[in-house]
Structure 1
């Protein structure tokens, strides 16, 4: 990702992503080249640039306020925070990318199955003559079924936007990602072929990656705060001091919250959203650390192991946000001891989009509520097991808490 970034910025041809994401025609899985450069620049310029991310500020604050109201309505009783944080993240991503929220258990289940199938081991990808195993195990059928359901959903979203435009119902001010992609498709002068499937592949990227990884990270951070009451208390003191009695934390407050940022870095160190980053592939023969790596070699970066490396981190298994307070280390891909979003050319382009949701939601939940575990569950007894067989690192059991309003 540093010295040999150009040699390793390709993606291997993977069967399951090919089925799920329109022949790997998205940003994440498409091979390195002109097509990838074009679609990445479209996403970065039109959706993920700072101005665009800031334009959704009011919408994000409104969605967080709605979630806080829901928690408050259930104060004193058991709340499934995993469920609430999923819908918070999903609503923000949907409104930014698709123009409105799409609620329903069907969508939550579909996203869960998408992530499960994406993380499944496909023998046929690595040993072609064992492709029959994937057919026999039902993996191929599952992948095609999820792909069809997602395509039906996305086709409906695109058709809705096309219809709205036909009747002149959307202005410049309320443009979402789908509107922008349809504009780019219509005004395409670069000679770059922009098919309907390209539009859907890009929406799927933003929608699936944006929702799944952000909500998983939020659950991990609050789980660790419940296990470390002193850290939670220190964060509550920071957010209370900065809020100065206002009803909620606003985005303009976040820059001043150094302890909040340290907690987020520590969460991403211990629980990188995608522990084994999306595989890279070498494009030419190269020598690394004395090893000869031939062209076409698939390379997996273990971000989880890097974040827990005892030669780099003191007490690597301990949740200790203080380690980041006087440290310049960041997670944006330039410091290679912390790579939750990858780095180099194939680093995640949506970092600022995701982290602002993370910061705003975490700051407000801790500002507004005292969180506790259900009766009989002690801090250190909280189940921190990870869900296996998925590409994103999820907590195995839902995070159930008792939330009581915190009076300032």
Structure 2
């Protein structure tokens, strides 16, 4: 039976009228409560402020915060969203009201990429999420686990240094993100699967890197269907189609890893790896994992575990190539502390304050995650004198906090020395100091915070200590960004390297 066209128009007009009334009067009615909503742009009926965001939402939101303040309210389609853009605002949400904002909103990314939110990143706050975090911390991401797999990190860095040395001998460029994705995937693969994921760097590892970048970019998009659910089925931006296609590719890869792992079980008798621990947790009574949980967790580890750290290292190297005096100071510190007769070791890092300052300054200016993964309020609350409705999405603009002129002097300049001053020397990027929260903070802080911080310091330090770096003649360094869950360089960093250490150290 055909539906009358006039009726369709009337229904559409009625729906738009209802949404407009709800949008306009809902905001007014909330102001009659004891506290007002935070200030923010009025927006348009139906779409709200969605049209404001553009291709660089972190930049747009930072600019808007200068007008509306550190806590800003936006109507995004039919959803409420609040943005925190200063350390004090972030502290209010992620510390004072952390429990109320401990869940994540359901989104196309969590549904189509993260196995319907069955992973550690998107799972609802509760027993299953706590089990995933506990297993990850005890066996992979926590302090003791990181100590246990230190030899694996050292061995994989050996492979990386040798590969770069070969490129140097052939006078070939090092494409930094490709090399980093390769080494980090193998580090994680050794711990999770007891094997290197890629035996040689080539088309397979490059395809994996491209898949990871695509996932982190796509998952960062502001998808219209997430904010206007009634039109989600239209997939106006084509985002969900891309997510479904990419998910199939990752699912094939992860399923293959799991099947190959089962076949080699006899080789690991008495020496279980992380996947063995996860598989055993399928039979843990009330707190058990499904195979979907396991796949989703592996996806978390192989994507966020490789991309966020590699992007930070790439930005750090790029800033040093842009500021050769910084690279020279880093070399001088390392030569003084380590010398040139051996490679940098993890135990050296604590004796290298300038290297640590470079890493902190990289996290400040180029945070791996410019906007934290959104959270959502379970109940209405009052934050710093403002009323926050139930089901309000929270976004913390980590990028804006790192460039806040009220917090940082000359925030657009890359100045590692700022972290050597008495004022900033004790600032820790692992979630306790809200001036620098590249991994987030609170209950939903990135589970891999310890690992990410260590990998950036160790790998960046090794690359700087082991090699001199030089851009190709006539090439101007491009420092433009591409927005996503991870902040990518628009143009991959490529450079020539020359070994600095004794030949047998870099061989």
TM-score, normalisation: structure 1: 0.94
Are the aligned partners of 1:97 and 1:207 in contact in 2 as well (CA < 8 Å)? no
Within the alignment, does 1:179 sit opposite 2:276 as a pair? yes
The equivalences for 1:5-404 within 5 A come to 5-75=98-168, 76-103=171-198, 104=204, 105-134=206-235, 136-165=236-265, 168-173=266-271, 175-186=272-283, 188-189=284-285, 191-326=286-421, 327-377=425-475, 381-388=476-483, 390-404=484-498
Secondary structure at the residue paired with 1:402? Answer: strand
**Is the 1:97–1:206 contact (alpha carbons within 8 Å) kept by the matching residues of 2?**
no
Q: Distance between the aligned counterparts of 1:246 and 1:127, measured in 2? A: 61
Q: Secondary structure at the residue paired with 1:73? A: helix
Deviation string, structure 1 residues 217-268 (Cα, Å, up to 9, x no partner)? 1100000000111111111111122223333111121121111111000000
Q: May I ask how many residue pairs the two structures share in their alignment? A: 398
Higher RCO, Cα 8 Å, sep 6+ = 1
Tell me by how many angstroms 1:155 deviates. Answer: 1.2
Larger Rg: 2
Q: In the alignment, is the contact (CA less than 8 A) between 2:364 and 2:402 conserved in 1? A: yes
Query: Shift of the alpha carbon at 1:407?
Result: 5.2
Counterpart Cα distance in 1 of 2:436 and 2:269: 41
Q: CA deviation at 1:68?
A: 1.2
The answer to whether the 8 A contact 1:72-1:405 is kept is yes
CA distance in 1, matches of 2:442, 2:383: 17
1:93-151 alpha-carbon deviations (Å, 9 max, x no partner)? 222223222231332232222223212222111101221441x5432221111111111
Could you tell me which residue of structure 1 aligns to residue 499 of structure 2?
Answer: 405
Q: Please list the CA deviations of residues 190-221 of structure 1 after superposition, one character each: whole Å capped at 9, or x if unmatched.
A: x1242111111111111111001011111000
Q: Which moved more, 1:101-110 or 1:50-59?
A: 101-110
The separation in 1 between residues aligned to 2:262 and 2:165, in whole angstroms, is 39
Conservation of the 8 A alpha-carbon contact between 2:176 and 2:493 = yes
Native 8 Å contact 2:367 2:398 kept in 1: yes
Aligned residues of 1:9 and 1:32 also touching (Cα < 8 A): yes
Do the aligned residues in 2 keep the contact of 1:223 with 1:399 (CA within 8 Å)? yes
Contact map agreement 2:340 2:501 (CA 8 A) in 1: no
